[in-house]
Structure 1
Amino acid sequence: MFQLALILLGNDFVKRQWWWLAGMGFVWAISGVAIFVDAVGRAAYFPVHPFGYLVLIAVAITLLLSGGWLLRRAIRLARRPEHVSMAALLSKDLPAASPAMRSTDATQVTGLLVVHVWTPISLAGEMIPNPLLDRYIAAVDIHGTVSTGHAALECTPDIYVSHQPAVEIDPSSASFLELVGKDVAGTFEPSYEVEAAGWCDSTAHVVFDHFDRARLASFWDVYRQDTTYNLAHRNCSSSVAHCLEAALEGSLGADEKSLVALFRVIFNPELWYAAQRRKCAQAMTWTPGLVLDYAQALQAAMTRAPVGWESLLSGMRRSWRYGVDVFAARVSRQGKAARYQSRVTPRRKDDH
């Protein structure tokens, strides 16, 4: 989550507000130490169960490691030069220092940014159902043909990111596993129209209307100089993910005078989900299914999706006000009914 937050906030925001990030990391680290000491002390003097305090210890270690990472990263990023690409700086597969990958001062938006995904299920024939594998890895039909899907990124009029091996790799072949992790010759498709005409239209797409086209163009100019294709860490999906992060870098850190952007990133549930998809891809590899989930989560976070903490709180406030109004109206009706009943009820003889 922290890496994705730093990418979306951008290097300029970090250099302005790095002390807030460092302070947050320091507080988290101290909180982790305090919880750890308290849990260990309670486990030593008040042993309830051998594993009774493991949850607190796990939370303490998580806070300590996360706070230490954020503190160290904030201090290191504060000393970085201006306009260094944050996405390249935090990625293990990309060169961190490259003049062509530096950002621009102004956001230039021309056209739309579209992430195209060909899902494995849509490309397979009469398939054998395999939950999760069909969605995120590959689909297998009844004839044994394996389909892994494809991902591409389009930014009109002249940017199209579609990385494929120069010689098609058959996932059903016996030598497929031998090619995993090995560099092979690759190529880039010229445009979506050419690729769709030679294959088929994409089965899913995600559209972004707020991005930095200049940053994306500079990143793409550097990335496409190397056509090497690798199934593990430089495939079609990883290329789309890196270009998407370059285009969206700094999009949530434009506010220079307040920390609204920082808290909006930290407490955005869509970004937490996107961070989990990114973490899965880093642990395994980028696949079309992960790219689709990642792009949809980022798109929802960028366009203020209706389902979120803000809408949840506003809905709770509206429900509370409605309940108060209903209760007040019910009390008022009960009072009026009681007064009317007292007027129309005849008095008994023994009443004084």
Structure 2
Amino acid sequence: MARLVMILLGVDYLRTRWRGLLWLGWVSVVLGVVAFVDALDNAIYFPMTPFALVLLLEGLATLVVARSGIGGQRTLRQVKGVSFCFAALLILAGHHHGHFVLSMIFATLFLADGLLQIVSARVVRFRTWRLAMAVGVFEILVAIFFYQPYPTHYVGTVPYCLGLGLIFGGWNLLLLASRLRRLDHNPGMDAADAVPAATAPTLHPASDAPDLKLWDGPPGPDEHALTVHVWTPVGSARGEARRQPLVDRYIAAVDRDGVISTGHAALESPEGIYISLYPAEEIDRSPDEFTRILRATRENDVAGKFQPDYQTEAAAWCPSTVQVRIRNYDPGRLRRFWDAYRQDTTYNLTYRNCSSTVSHALEAALEGASARVWRQVRGWRPLWRLLATPELWVAAQIRKRAKTMAWTPGLTLDYARALSMLADPRPSGWASMTRMALGQMRRQRQDWREAAQRAEAGQGAQAGNVASAANAGNAGSAGSAGSARPRGND
């Protein structure tokens, strides 16, 4: 996650705050260790019930405002709300059953992630595969710790999880601070922009906030935006694909004839850049050879070629299945990446394929995207907003999984969608509900003022009519009295 934060906020913003990040990292690690050690005996001082109530309120509030999200944002917030509410109810249930179920859930998640990481590292053999296997073994040990009842008979599950979360979060902050300390400049800003500033996308805020630019949805067809094209394995299969949940979404699809389709990914910019790496000669993707060519080793390197443009590739194959469009990108950084990357046409099915190429290009184009969105905001607020955005954590997990396995079109699609929510931030549920509430309050006050003004005007008119009637009555009485007096004298 540290690398992703550096990409989105940029080194210029973070470099001046590396000391603060260092202190925050150490504080988080120390608090995590204290919470974890406190849960090792039966005398747990962690406030379980208040924590569960806060978790439940946050989950309910997230579910209430989830409908204000758009597409994947709405789904992500619904998942978050349900997860928070479920965990809070298990904590409030207390006794043995609630803690036991929660412990089994966390243990299974750690076990599954550790096993997946070990297997993928063993098969793919990327550059740091031994380190990835060590991390996988550590996750399995954590899973075993959660599975067995010692030492608190599952009562310390929540403090354990909170402590581990603080420790891992603090460790990420320490890594980020150490990297920033060693950097004296932003490598992405060494050269001048290759694209004139006039061609850069203009940011049009969708809200009236002076310091934050928000959009209500994805770019329209006529808007200046970067496009990520994805051909899913199922959508690009030559024949009818045999449905295999998750496998045909993230790895490959197999048609009725046994031919494997892994899909494809490409990136297109309005400045004329089209990035689409493909093997110069078709790779044998039969089931017998597919396991061998999955290894990220030099013997599996083949010659590759870059497609000229989307129209040519779509005409020769088929139109892309899904497109993800992003407004807020830097065409200069994308141009510099492309000029350097296209010098090497090597293709490897695992570590240098179409999906990894698009993901790296996307990261280059979005460097400093959050800093551009919040360029008028000072202090730590941009960092806190970024860390509090669920899409950041989703993007970090996708990036981690792709680095330890391989970039696939399915992972690239999810990664691009998550980054689009970070580069082109939509109004969050709380922001939308707050604006709606404030707008409704303003309209009510305006209606009350108009009603009061109408009432005052009506009372004034009624008072004028009464006064006119009274004057007329007084005048009539005076005339009658004048005519009666002479008769009395006579």
TM-score interval for Structure 1 and Structure 2 normalised by the shorter chain: 0.7 to 0.9
For residue 63 of structure 1, what is the aligned residue in structure 2? 166
Look up the SS of the partner of 2:39 in the other structure. helix
Instruction: Tell me if structure 2 keeps the 8 A contact 1:100–1:222.
Output: no
After TM superposition, give the deviation of residue 198 of structure 1 in Å: 1.4
Q: Distance in 1 between matches of 2:324 and 2:163?
A: 38
Instruction: Tell me if structure 2 keeps the 8 A contact 1:270–1:301.
Output: yes
Q: Distance in 2 between matches of 1:142 and 1:267?
A: 45
Instruction: Tell me if structure 1 keeps the 8 A contact 2:324–2:416.
Output: yes
Instruction: Tell me if structure 2 keeps the 8 A contact 1:36–1:61.
Output: yes
Q: Is 1:146 aligned to 2:271, yes or no?
A: no
Look up the SS of the partner of 1:122 in the other structure. coil
For residue 174 of structure 1, what is the aligned residue in structure 2? 288
Instruction: Tell me if structure 2 keeps the 8 A contact 1:101–1:218.
Output: no
Instruction: Tell me if structure 2 keeps the 8 A contact 1:100–1:221.
Output: no
Look up the SS of the partner of 2:421 in the other structure. helix
Q: Distance in 2 between matches of 1:67 and 1:101?
A: 35
For residue 232 of structure 2, what is the aligned residue in structure 1? 119
Q: Is 1:214 aligned to 2:332, yes or no?
A: yes
Q: Is 1:262 aligned to 2:383, yes or no?
A: yes
For residue 84 of structure 1, what is the aligned residue in structure 2? 187
Look up the SS of the partner of 1:232 in the other structure. coil
Paired residues, what number? 310
After TM superposition, give the deviation of residue 55 of structure 1 in Å: 4.2
1:296 to 411, 417, 424: 417
Q: Is 1:310 aligned to 2:431, yes or no?
A: yes
Give, as a single letter, the amino acid of the residue that structure 2 aligns with 1:123.
Answer: S
The CA deviation string for residues 3-51 of structure 1, in whole angstroms up to 9 with x for no partner, is 3222100111111222332232122112112212212244699x88434
Instruction: Tell me if structure 2 keeps the 8 A contact 1:117–1:152.
Output: yes
For residue 398 of structure 2, what is the aligned residue in structure 1? 277
Give, as a single letter, the amino acid of the residue that structure 2 aligns with 1:121.
Answer: V
For residue 480 of structure 2, what is the aligned residue in structure 1? none
Instruction: Tell me if structure 2 keeps the 8 A contact 1:183–1:229.
Output: yes
The CA deviation string for residues 156-198 of structure 1, in whole angstroms up to 9 with x for no partner, is 3331110111111132253232222222221111111221121
For residue 177 of structure 2, what is the aligned residue in structure 1? 74
Look up the SS of the partner of 1:174 in the other structure. helix
For residue 2 of structure 1, what is the aligned residue in structure 2? 2
The CA deviation string for residues 283-312 of structure 1, in whole angstroms up to 9 with x for no partner, is 221111111111112212333335545336
Greater Cα shift, 186-195 or 53-62? 53-62
The CA deviation string for residues 211-233 of structure 1, in whole angstroms up to 9 with x for no partner, is 11101111111222221111111
How do 1:115-264 and structure 2 match up within 5 A?
115-124=228-237, 125-172=239-286, 174-180=288-294, 181=296, 182-254=300-372, 255=375, 257-264=378-385
Greater Cα shift, 140-149 or 234-243? 140-149
Q: How has the CA–CA distance of structure 1 residues 20 and 210 changed in structure 2, closer, same or farther, with 3 Å as cutoff? A: same
Look up the SS of the partner of 2:324 in the other structure. strand
Q: Distance in 1 between matches of 2:161 and 2:280?
A: 47
TM-score, with length taken from structure 1: 0.77
Q: How has the CA–CA distance of structure 1 residues 44 and 107 changed in structure 2, closer, same or farther, with 3 Å as cutoff? A: farther
Larger Rg: 2
Identify, as 1 or 2, the structure richer in helix.
2
After TM superposition, give the deviation of residue 73 of structure 1 in Å: 2.6
Q: Distance in 2 between matches of 1:102 and 1:36?
A: 49
TM-score, with length taken from structure 2: 0.57
Instruction: Tell me if structure 1 keeps the 8 A contact 2:258–2:286.
Output: yes
Greater Cα shift, 231-240 or 139-148? 139-148
Q: How has the CA–CA distance of structure 1 residues 259 and 41 changed in structure 2, closer, same or farther, with 3 Å as cutoff? A: same
Q: How has the CA–CA distance of structure 1 residues 22 and 138 changed in structure 2, closer, same or farther, with 3 Å as cutoff? A: same
Q: How has the CA–CA distance of structure 1 residues 261 and 41 changed in structure 2, closer, same or farther, with 3 Å as cutoff? A: same
Q: Distance in 2 between matches of 1:301 and 1:285?
A: 23
After TM superposition, give the deviation of residue 119 of structure 1 in Å: 0.9
Give, as a single letter, the amino acid of the residue that structure 2 aligns with 1:262.
Answer: L
Q: How has the CA–CA distance of structure 1 residues 296 and 70 changed in structure 2, closer, same or farther, with 3 Å as cutoff? A: same
The CA deviation string for residues 95-134 of structure 1, in whole angstroms up to 9 with x for no partner, is xxxx669999979625431100111111223221111112
Give, as a single letter, the amino acid of the residue that structure 2 aligns with 1:219.
Answer: F
